[in-house]
Amino acid sequence: MGEVRIISINQNVTADNDLAADMLRRRLSAQGTFFVNVMSGPGSGKTTLLTALINRLKSDYRIGEMDVDIESRIDAQRVADATGVEALQIHNCGLCHIDADMITRALTEYDTSELDLLILENIGNLVCPAEFDTGAHKNVMLLSVPEGDDKPLKYPLMFTVSDLVLITKTDTTGYFDFDFDAAKKRILALNPKAVIIPVSAKTGEGLDAVTDWFRSGISSINTDKH
């Protein structure tokens, strides 16, 4: 057996972002818009899942989507084409995250006042986006089966800050070693209140439960409003 030693290198990450996030959240609550921040690593299936979800909700609600990417417009275009909703592509020019101030600036060019649901498809990154409050009411994260059940151990903050954890691409389970019980235990150890739903955009597994979670969130904000 080889030897392992551990070295910790500290650096403070300051954030005066929380005030901007609270202001944005209050503003969206007041106008009755449920704002959800969707995070994951690259290639976990965010765009495919969100497209399926929006198509299930769009007859009942007014929905908007913002896609953050370094420089492409692939995701916003895919969502817009597949659902017909207006999608805003935000380029963050190489940054690893997006914060509430950036969202607030983007919303000066995107009228959300009539929306029931505003979805932020965050950049594919399991580290940095977890550190910044975007002003969303709820955080959702996707962990795909091919990524492996050890990810909660390696990216703990992402799982700690997420209200809903979707284990995606469950149709590939036969192909990868993924221990669902171990993954759930690891997630709940970090975040006992996390809702965990296994889903597959291919087979439709879990999509009803995810849709219900979104409906419930939209209702809670609309109730607050009136």
Contact window for a second copy (CB under 8 A) among 21-29, 95-103, 206-214, 216-224:
95-103
201: which DSSP letter?
Answer: T
Contact string (CB under 8 A) for a second copy, positions 124-163, x = contact: xxxxx--x------------x-xxx-xx-xxxxx------
Tell me which of 19, 30, 70, 182 binds a second copy, using CB under 8 A.
Answer: 70
Q: With binding defined as CB under 8 A, does residue 6 bind a second copy?
A: yes
Rounded to whole angstroms, how far apart are CA atoms 29 and 158? 24
Q: With binding defined as CB under 8 A, does residue 182 bind a second copy?
A: no
Is residue 3 exposed (0-12), middle (13-18) or buried (19+ Cβ within 10 Å)?
exposed
Rounded to whole angstroms, how far apart are CA atoms 165 and 126? 13
- Cβ 71 to a second copy shortest distance, Å: 6
The b-or-e profile of 94-129 (16+ CB within 10 A means b, else e) is: eeebbbbbbbbebbeeeebeebbbbbbbbbbbbebb
List the one residue out of 93, 103, 86 whose CA is nearest residue 35: 103
SS3 37: strand
Using CA of residue 5, residue 7, residue 192, residue 126, what is the dihedral sign?
negative
Q: Report which residue type is found at 209.
A: A
Tell me which of 17, 33, 37, 83 binds a second copy, using CB under 8 A.
Answer: 83
If the CB atoms of residues 160 and 222 are measured against a second copy, the closer one turns out to be 160
- Cβ 51 to a second copy shortest distance, Å: 11
Q: With binding defined as CB under 8 A, does residue 87 bind a second copy?
A: yes
Phi then psi for residue 79, to 5 deg, are -65, -45
- Cβ 117 to a second copy shortest distance, Å: 15
- Cβ 119 to a second copy shortest distance, Å: 13
Q: With binding defined as CB under 8 A, does residue 5 bind a second copy?
A: yes
Q: With binding defined as CB under 8 A, does residue 18 bind a second copy?
A: no
Residues binding a second copy (CB under 8 A): 1-11, 13, 41-43, 69-77, 79-81, 83-96, 98, 102, 105-106, 109-110, 123-128, 131, 144, 146-148, 150-151, 153-157, 169, 172, 175-176
